[in-house]
Structure 1
Amino acid sequence: MKFTESPVIQLTIANNKQLSLQQDNASLHVGTTVWPCSLVLSKFADRWAPPQPNPNASINPYTDLLNFRNKRAIELGAGCGAAGMAFYLLGLNDIVLTDIAPVMTALKHNLKRNKQVLKKTLKTSVLYWNNDDQIRSLNPPFDIVIATDVVYIEESVCQLVGAMEKLVSDDGVVLLGYQVRSPEADKLFWELCGEVFGIEKVPHGHLHLDYAYEETDVYILRKKKKIHCKS
């Protein structure tokens, strides 16, 4: 999916529930645009999130991953809120959507715009990835951290990986929608991620057929187990 100037993006999720996402491509902040990876990750989850009960659990490789019962989640760089709202509709009921202060207007506008579909106003919080006080105020750890199209500036990569490490629980997961935006940021991101997380790339054939764009990927990141040596 290429960049689109359409002012409204429609996303069908969770048995034909329709999200309507308004974007502002003329804004100075990239967070006011609906980026492709948020749609790709959302539709990947939509394809595999198990119903309850799930008679096909044995043939669904993501049954455990996408079973959201009693899970806490947070979205980093939520932007217009596409992924956070989609995951909420798929059953991830305890979720907080975060972004920097200048993007909050666009995020809250879209949450209000979709309140009839969501049936409630989702939680939001201002979060700068290098602000430890803001991170602590969110009461981590979280079972699931969602992030899409967040790697595009080399200077913010270390802050992003650090925030993910602090926010996700030791047995939790980071669900990452990813597209290379900057070769320098891409190289540094995977170097730092490799120090903290085990990295699993979702096979392209497992993405939703209509949202399996060649240039976008979904990754599952899990914290590496720490080795405790006896003294």
Structure 2
Amino acid sequence: MKFTDSPVIELRVRDKLLALHQDNGSMHVGTSVWPCSLVLVKFAERWAHSSDPNPYAALLDFRNKRGIELGTGCGVAGMGLFLLGLYDVVLTDIPPVMPALKHNLKRNKPALGKALKNTVLCWNNPDQIKALNPPFDVVFATDVVYIEESVRHLLSAMATLVKPEGVVLLGYQVRSPEADKLFWELCDEAFHKEKVPHEHLHPDYAYEEADVFILRKKQNETKPNEENS
């Protein structure tokens, strides 16, 4: 499920309006806006600085925290979490997607107030990972589990990039049964997972197919087994 085929997706985050250009005719899925990015941002917006009894108060206290997005695509989640207070954000993706990302960063600079950091990152490239100067307080990704062959590299990158006491925020929808099965099998090697109840999502962005997961490192685990990867 895509959010819409409209060439421009608008998303209001607090008092700012993001306008994301997408190209659904591109050869690369990263140039489209996928729903889990919207779901993650609006979940965080609902609970960030909420005055109600808030089970996510510590999780979403982004002050003075470094964050990195994997597979950022058009940049929705990264821009949204920055507007919600994530202090230092790096948006990453593969080279073919970077022009679309940079275009969206430029067109949304008035709302963001600055140019967000962005760089190429292939999950199986240890030199690129090292150059990012990990670890990060918050690693986040949305709609990135759809190719079985990339699952091990994705989880290894997540485990390497996040601090032992940090958190991975994952906007998730099943795209491939094979990739889904392998992802959760390997995830259990390195992370404890918590699924956000659907009633805790933003009511206007609680799509039936989309979920938000919170992943935290297990003790004495740094990355999933990469044998036979």
**Percent identical:** 71
In 1, Cα distance between equivalents of 2:64 and 2:3: 36
1:56-115: CA deviation from partner (whole Å, max 9, x where unpaired): 37x111100000111110000000000000000001120100000110000000000100
- For 1:129-148, what aligned pairs fall within 5 Å after superposition? 129-148=123-142
How far has the Cα of 1:221 moved from its partner?
0.1
1:118 equivalent in structure 2: 112
Whole-Å separation in 1 of the counterparts to 2:146 and 2:191 = 20
1:152 and 2:151 matched:
no
- Change in Cα spacing, 1:2 to 1:29, as seen in structure 2 (3 Å) is closer
Alignment partner, residue 179 of structure 1 = 173
Residue type matched to 1:142 in 2?
F
RMSD across aligned positions (CA): 1.2
Aligned to 1:18: 17
Q: Which of 92, 96, 107 is the matching residue for 2:90?
A: 96
| Unmatched segments (≥5 aa) in structure 2 | 222-229
Unaligned runs of 5+ in 1: none
Q: Distance in 1 between matches of 2:196 and 2:93?
A: 26
Partner of 1:39: 38
CA shift, 1:165, in A, is 0.5
Say which SS state the counterpart of residue 62 (structure 2) adopts.
coil
Q: Which aligned pairs between 1:46-61 and structure 2 lie closer than 5 A?
A: 46-50=45-49, 56=51, 59-61=53-55
* Length-normalised TM-score, structure 2: 0.94
Question: Residue 9 of structure 1 aligns with which residue?
Answer: 9
Quick one: distance in 2 between partners of 1:211 and 1:132?
35
Matched AA of 2:48: A
Question: Which segment drifts farther, 218-227 or 181-190?
Answer: 218-227
1:189 aligns with 2:183: yes
Amino acid at match of 1:184: E
Please tell me whether the aligned partners of residues 145 and 183 of structure 2 are also in contact (alpha carbons under 8 angstroms): yes
Determine the structure 1 residue equivalent to 2:226: none
SS in 2 for 1:31: helix
Task: Assess, with a 3 A threshold, how the Cα gap between structure 1 residues 175 and 49 changes in structure 2: closer, same or farther.
Answer: same
Structure-2 separation of matches of 1:215 and 1:69: 31
Mapped to 1, the partners of 2:54 and 2:64 lie a distance apart of 20
Secondary structure, counterpart of 1:186 in structure 2: helix
Determine if contact 2:164/2:217 at 8 Å carries over to the other structure: yes
SS in 2 for 1:189: helix
String of CA shifts for 1:5-63, please: whole Å, max 9, x gaps: 1100000102x310000000011110000000000000000101116xxxx37x11110
d(CA) in 1 for partners of 2:137 and 2:4? 33
The question of whether the paired residues in 1 share the 8 Å contact of 2:2 and 2:33 is answered with: no
SS at match of 2:40: helix
